[in-house]
Amino acid sequence: MCWFMKKCWYRVCQKTLKFAMRFMNWKEPELLEGEGAVLKLPEFIKNKGINRVLVVTDKGLMGLHLLDPMFNKLKEQEIEYFIYDGVQPNPTIPNIEECKEMYLKNNCEGIIAFGGGSPMDCAKAAGARVVKPRQSVRKMRGYLKVGKKLPPFFAVPTTAGTGSEITLAAVVTDPETHEKNAIADPCLRPKYAVLDPALTVGLPPHITSTTGMDAYTHAVEAYIGKSNVKSTIRYAEDATKLIHENLEKAYNNGKDMEARANMLKGSYYAGAAFTRAFVGYVHAIAHNLGGMYNTPHGLANAVILPYVLDWYGPAAYPRLAKLADIIGITNENMSVEEKGKAFIEEIRRMNKAMNIPDKFDFIKEEDIPTLVQRALKEGNPGYPVPKIMNKKDCESVIRSIMK
């Protein structure tokens, strides 16, 4: 098939999926919000008639004793809890299987995912395996492969970045192939979420910056794509403004509770935008850097974002120009192209101000063909991007981020 016909086919697939998504359930999670909201969660769970829960988190958060106040409240409510803290920064298929087995072994009735995107992805995929025991994680890869209601799921983000508390996606690394499996299904969307800014106060500056830029990437990629609806446009605009106004404040002063709360809300809005409007090649490349080199996802997105936007060029400038207006970095004398370029340069300024590198030094020449192949496999035809990449285009972008 010639390249022109391929691109036409990709656009047909994207438009078909956008149409089909109109008939999906887009009910948002029931929220507990505000400083100290996590302490209200156990009573909330008890009122749902749930008495045994699996808490999915990581050893880092356990070591910080960040969950202790919630554990005490669970005890007060006489809710038995079991802890799976083996989640890795990029959760693996073995993580999922261990988590699932712990849930079943202890006859749990619900799941609390506590942490960043990794514990939430692990919990989502484990919940899917609980209800689909005969379907492997590998066979769940792609769109609408789960199709069954998950156990009651309570998402507690401790970073303002992934937006996983509202998304329908989970990403799992295959340790055998070093490939990431993206699973997307409305049934993975949490029914309940806690937005407690106090849980993010202890984040180190470099985690604050990279997770924040992850959320920024969600908003931008959703906004410039071709599958937007009115709600995703509004969410992406609100997210971009909130994150731009608060990320550097939170980075420079981690105890700024207002900035932390605004970042959580911005991340939530960005998640709401991209879970329906999708992301793009920034994520496709970032996922595969994570799979190949274990690169933290937020860091990968932050570095890659301006380079992909440069590559989109005029195809993205009109949308980027609107975002530039929203964050207040333009004037009435600037053209659409100038505004679009100004937005890209503002991303570079933000990265530099938060000590995020502009390139990577670990990408190996011999890995480039595999990275290209896997990134395009993820991106085409599923992501409704402003402009479609071929192998040569993708390779040029990857080379542009190499030192």
Give the list of residues 6+ apart from residue 210 with CB closer than 8 angstroms, or none.
161, 296, 298, 299, 301, 302, 356
Domain range spanning residue 248?
3-19+203-400
Residue 256 and residue 185 share a domain: no
Residue 89, pLDDT score: 86
Residue 185, pLDDT score: 93
pLDDT in tens, 114-166: 999 999 999 999 999 999 999 999 999 988 899 999 999 999 999 999 999 99
In a domain, 26, yes or no: no
Confidence category of residue 179, pLDDT binned at 50, 70, 90:
confident
* CATH number of the structural domain spanning residue 244: 1.20.1090.10
Do residues 303 and 357 make contact, with C-beta atoms less than 8 angstroms apart?
Answer: yes
Instruction: Tell me the pTM.
Output: 0.94
Average pLDDT of span 351-365:
98
In a domain, 134, yes or no: yes
Residue 107, pLDDT score: 98
Average pLDDT of span 389-397:
98
Residue 181 and residue 211 share a domain: no
Report whether pLDDT(215) > 80: yes
Average pLDDT of span 3-15:
94
* CATH number of the structural domain spanning residue 71: 3.40.50.1970
pLDDT in tens, 33-79: 999 999 999 999 999 999 999 999 999 999 999 999 999 999 999 99
In a domain, 381, yes or no: yes
Q: Residue 387: phi, psi to the nearest 5?
A: -145, 140
Do residues 313 and 307 make contact, with C-beta atoms less than 8 angstroms apart?
Answer: no
* Cα distance between residue 13 and residue 5, in whole Å: 12
Residue 2, pLDDT score: 87
Residue 275 and residue 180 share a domain: no
* Cα distance between residue 171 and residue 378, in whole Å: 12
Residue 324 and residue 214 share a domain: yes
In a domain, 14, yes or no: yes
Q: Which residue has the higher pLDDT, 96 or 182?
A: 96
Residue 388 and residue 337 share a domain: yes
Q: What percent of the chain has pLDDT over 70?
A: 100
Residue 280 and residue 239 share a domain: yes
Of 154, 173, 200, which one is at a domain's C-terminal end?
200
Total structural domains within the chain: 2
Residue 132 and residue 281 share a domain: no
Report whether pLDDT(178) > 90: no
Of 151, 166, 200, which one is at a domain's C-terminal end?
200
In a domain, 53, yes or no: yes
Of 200, 222, 245, which one is at a domain's C-terminal end?
200
Average pLDDT of span 193-209:
96
- What letters, b where the CB count within 10 A reaches 16 and e where it falls short, cover 255-274? ebeebbbbbbbbbbbbbbbb
Specify the 3-state DSSP secondary structure of 66.
Answer: coil
